[in-house]
Amino acid sequence: MTTDNPPLPPRLPRLSVLDLVPVRSDQSSADAVTAALSLARAADDLGYERYWVAEHHNMPAVAATNPPVLIAMLAGATERIRVGSGGVMLPNHAPLVVAEQFALLEAAYPGRIDLGIGRAPGTDPVTSWALRHGAGGVSDDNVTRFPEYVDDVLSMMEPSGVGLQLRGSVHTLTATPRAASVPTIWLLGSSDYSARLAAEKGMPYVFAHHFSGQGTAEALELYRSNFRPAPDGSGLREPQTFLTVNASVAETAEEARRLAAPQLQMMLALRSGSPLTAQHLVEEAEKRDLPADQHDLMDAMARRWVIGDPEGARTQVRELAATYGVDEVMVNPVSGAWVGTDPSTAPSREQTLRLLAS
């Protein structure tokens, strides 16, 4: 007779959250933000590592237009979880403004702030023009000078600041008068450009696997193989990265698939150039009559997401972490809502976090 216990399943990697602050057809912007605050508190209570919010503009289904404002609200509503941007689209903003915003957030919530920086516009071309020209910048120039702007943000946050040459004199710019700590600064990307830049500068890096689902292994290998620590020893000593993935988890795999449908349809509209609307409720999504080829495209996207019951979803997360060699996975909880849900809540999104972490 044996008394051996069955082997325990492999441990989950550390879990984090990405939030685009989706706006459903039954919600106002205020409702969506209230639901996001509740989701962040749930993530905090469940032991998630970090909670990042994105930057998108002029999209009916996304309320995450201003990461620093949201981060201040989220950090104030939570106790220990790291809060940050996934990410700030740096070409849209003056580097000094970004540095000041995040230096102030770090001063208010020391050791809890992440600044994720991206190069994409995060919006349509017209809104991109309004953002950049409205601040006195030129779109193409801002993108070309992205590496320089990253250096500016890094330097301005240091207590010594950065020297700016103007009219023959050097003026020191600092993001905050008495910096006691500096937020962790990450480079984000969905191509190999930011992977190379992060490796060159010895910075942590995240590939947007949740958005593209392709090219992840190549980008991470490029980052890891080309990584060079900062020569002054101020940065990372070795590469640091994690994986992002869309997730819908429910008590049954069928329920999880139904809850994922509104987000899949929104991604379909985004990729096909169809008009964007607020995110449908589940029953609204199920009533839509879509051509067979669009169903095929959504099925292909869904295969790259984590969709399933708790055991199946946790297995998928473990496999993703093992495949890409990461010890942290950031989930974007994409579960929709049923008709009749309280507009100021997102119970299915909270359910995804709870069932995945349990």
Rg (CA), the chain: 21
- Asked if residue 355 and residue 332 are part of one domain, the reply reads yes
The distance of Cα 120 from the centroid of its chain, to the nearest Å, equals 13
- Asked if residue 61 and residue 158 are part of one domain, the reply reads yes
d(CA 29, CA 63): 6
List the CATH number of the domain containing 133.
Answer: 3.20.20.30
- Asked if residue 293 and residue 262 are part of one domain, the reply reads yes
Final residue before a domain boundary, out of 238, 257, 288: 238
Final residue before a domain boundary, out of 173, 206, 238: 238
d(CA 49, CA 44): 8
Question: How many Cα atoms are found within 13 Å in the side-chain-facing hemisphere of 343?
Answer: 12
d(CA 309, CA 350): 14
Max intra-chain CA distance, the chain: 87
- Asked if residue 114 and residue 219 are part of one domain, the reply reads yes
Q: Name the domain count of the chain.
A: 2
Q: What is the pTM of this model?
A: 0.93
**Residue 156 belongs to some domain of the structure:** yes
What are the b/e assignments for 277-309, b being 16+ CB within 10 Å? ebbbbbebbeeeeeeeebeebbeebbebbbbbb
- Residue whose pair of structure tokens reads 């995450």 in the numeric block: 64
d(CA 307, CA 259): 9
- Asked if residue 226 and residue 247 are part of one domain, the reply reads no
**Residue 3 belongs to some domain of the structure:** no
Q: Mind listing the pLDDT tens digit of every residue in the chain (358 residues)?
A: 455 666 656 789 999 999 999 999 999 999 999 999 999 999 999 999 999 999 999 999 999 999 999 999 999 999 999 999 999 999 889 999 999 999 999 999 999 999 999 998 767 777 777 777 654 444 567 778 899 999 999 999 988 888 877 778 888 889 999 889 999 999 999 889 999 999 999 999 999 888 766 789 999 999 999 999 977 666 789 999 999 999 999 999 999 999 999 999 999 998 888 889 999 999 999 999 998 889 999 999 999 999 999 999 999 999 999 999 999 999 999 999 999 999 999 999 999 999 999 8
Q: Which two tokens stand for residue 91?
A: 């070409």
Q: Which range of residues forms the domain containing residue 44?
A: 8-48+240-358
343 DSSP β-pair partners: none
CA angle, 326 then 330 then 331, to 5°: 130
24 DSSP β-pair partners: 279
Q: Are 135 and 94 in contact (CB under 8 A)?
A: yes
Q: Are 109 and 75 in contact (CB under 8 A)?
A: yes
- Asked if residue 78 and residue 136 are part of one domain, the reply reads yes
d(CA 104, CA 182): 10
Final residue before a domain boundary, out of 238, 273, 304: 238
Q: Are 201 and 195 in contact (CB under 8 A)?
A: no
- The closest alpha carbon to 72, from 51, 58, 93, belongs to 51
- Asked if residue 337 and residue 211 are part of one domain, the reply reads no
